[in-house]
């Protein structure tokens, strides 16, 4: 007799728990549970034999009228001294529920009187900063993918001698990105090795006091454009993803982009280099400092002072990052 009484109170508690949850979901606007908890399925658990109300409670996601007509398990049934539904009743209704702390934090416009924030608006206001994709390959694998005789863009048909891949430390904190190889680079197969390259080496080693081998140096396009012309948009669009994959592998703290076309290509902007330089930009969470191309400095040495200002900012950031 005592065992029957205990099972009866457990069953009563189970029924009221299920009913509370269903009613709560209904209040949240759930129209369907996506599962069928019918009298038959309840029977399979052996519950139906004792109380058909289980099936009724599960179906109460239907209109509230049906729910109201559902008889509640009697209070104190089987010695169960908690009134069924009391936990739900103790909760504030949705209309009067206080704004949650999370929403308070991201909803400064809340008047603090408990008005519930519109969750869609709130979530829209929470910005998740994009970051570099996790590397799933190595620099060697990227180079193997490019191949020594890449023909993906028309620069392969314009008299290039070889594909000029990036060089340097694969774990570098500092990366330099140019536009495309020139004649010297095309011959030697390494970026920034001509006169402009020597000036870049001086900036790195004499200015920043970092050995050239400790930085990573690459170009947006890996094949020399004829007559050192600027790579055309379709040529840059095809080759740039290789550089972006390398950035995801190296994960530098700062990327220095050299010249207007490299800076505009990486940052996807048309803002002139004179306005881009002098402050940091962002590429997927990585600091980007545009500055003048060394070849431009050879033509106008007065611009070296501005490049040095940019490099001092880079150096300062590297020391604190
Ligand atoms: S520039 Fe890049 S995409 Fe075009 S042929 Fe050379 S390696 Fe291939």
**% of the chain residues with pLDDT over 90:** 59
Own/partner contacts of 22-28, CB < 8 Å, gap of 24 or more, are 22/57, 22/58, 22/60, 22/61, 23/60, 23/67, 23/85, 23/88, 24/88, 24/91, 25/61, 26/60, 26/61, 26/64, 26/67, 27/93, 27/94, 28/94
Among 149, 154, 156, name the best residue to mutate to test ligand 1's pocket (greatest count of ligand atoms within 8 A of Cβ). 156
Among 143, 145, 146, 218, name the best residue to mutate to test ligand 1's pocket (greatest count of ligand atoms within 8 A of Cβ). 146
- Top-confidence range, 83-92, 94-103, 154-163: 154-163
* Per-residue pLDDT at 177: 98
User: Which ligand 1 atom minimizes the distance to the CA of 238?
Assistant: 3
Q: Any idea what DSSP says for residue 113?
A: S
pLDDT tens digit string along 53-96?
A: 433 333 333 444 444 444 444 444 444 445 555 555 555 554 45
217 has which bridge partners? 167, 176
* Least confidently predicted of 18-32, 71-85, 126-140: 71-85
- Spacing of C-alpha 281 from chain mean position: 17
Q: Rounded to 10 degrees, what is the CA torsion of 211, 215, 219, 222? A: 80
Q: Any idea what DSSP says for residue 180?
A: -
pLDDT at 210 over 80: yes
156 lines ligand 1 (CB under 6 A): yes
Class of domain 139-320: alpha beta
Cα-based distances in Å from 14 to 36, 40, 58, 183, 275: 18, 17, 12, 81, 68
Single pTM value for the model: 0.64
Whole-angstrom Cα distance, residue 171 to residue 253? 10
Domain ranges of the chain: 2-91, 96-128, 139-320
180 lines ligand 1 (CB under 6 A): no
User: Which ligand 1 atom minimizes the distance to the CA of 242?
Assistant: 2
**CA 83 – ligand 1 centroid, Å:** 75
**CA 155 – ligand 1 centroid, Å:** 6
pLDDT tens digit string along 214-255?
A: 999 999 999 999 999 999 999 999 999 999 999 999 999 999
Ligand 1, atom 7: closest residue by C-alpha: 222
39 lines ligand 1 (CB under 6 A): no
Nearby residues of 232 by Cβ (< 8 Å), 6 or more positions away: none
């Amino acid at each position: 007799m005592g065992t029957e009484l205990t099972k009866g109170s457990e069953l009563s508690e189970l029924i009221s728990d299920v009913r509370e949850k269903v009613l709560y979901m209904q209040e949240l606007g759930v129209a369907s549970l996506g599962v069928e908890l019918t009298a038959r399925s309840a029977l399979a658990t052996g519950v139906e034999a004792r109380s058909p109300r289980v099936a009724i409670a599960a179906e109460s996601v239907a209109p509230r009228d049906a729910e109201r007509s559902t008889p509640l398990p009697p209070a104190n049934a089987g010695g169960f001294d908690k009134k069924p539904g009391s936990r739900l009743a103790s909760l504030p209704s949705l209309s009067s529920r206080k704004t949650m702390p999370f929403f308070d934090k991201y909803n400064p416009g809340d008047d603090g009187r408990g008005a519930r924030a519109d969750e869609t608006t709130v979530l829209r206001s929470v910005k998740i900063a994009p970051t570099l994709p996790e590397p799933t390959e190595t620099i060697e694998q990227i180079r193997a993918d490019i191949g020594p005789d890449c023909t993906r863009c028309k620069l392969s048909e314009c008299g290039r001698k070889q594909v000029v891949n990036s060089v340097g430390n694969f774990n570098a904190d500092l990366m330099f990105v140019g536009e495309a190889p020139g004649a010297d680079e095309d011959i030697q197969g390494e970026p920034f090795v001509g006169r402009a390259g020597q000036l870049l080496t001086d900036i790195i080693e004499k200015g920043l006091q970092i050995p050239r081998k400790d930085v990573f140096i690459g170009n947006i396009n890996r094949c020399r454009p004829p007559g050192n012309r600027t790579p055309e948009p379709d040529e840059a669009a095809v080759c740039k993803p290789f550089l972006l994959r390398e950035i995801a592998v190296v994960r530098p703290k700062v990327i220095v982009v050299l010249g207007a076309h490299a800076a505009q290509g990486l940052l996807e902007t048309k803002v002139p280099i004179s306005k881009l330089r002098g402050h940091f930009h962002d590429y997927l969470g990585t600091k980007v400092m545009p500055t003048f191309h060394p070849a431009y400095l050879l033509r106008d040495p007065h611009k070296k002072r501005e490049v040095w200002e940019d490099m001092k900012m880079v150096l300062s950031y590297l020391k604190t990052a």
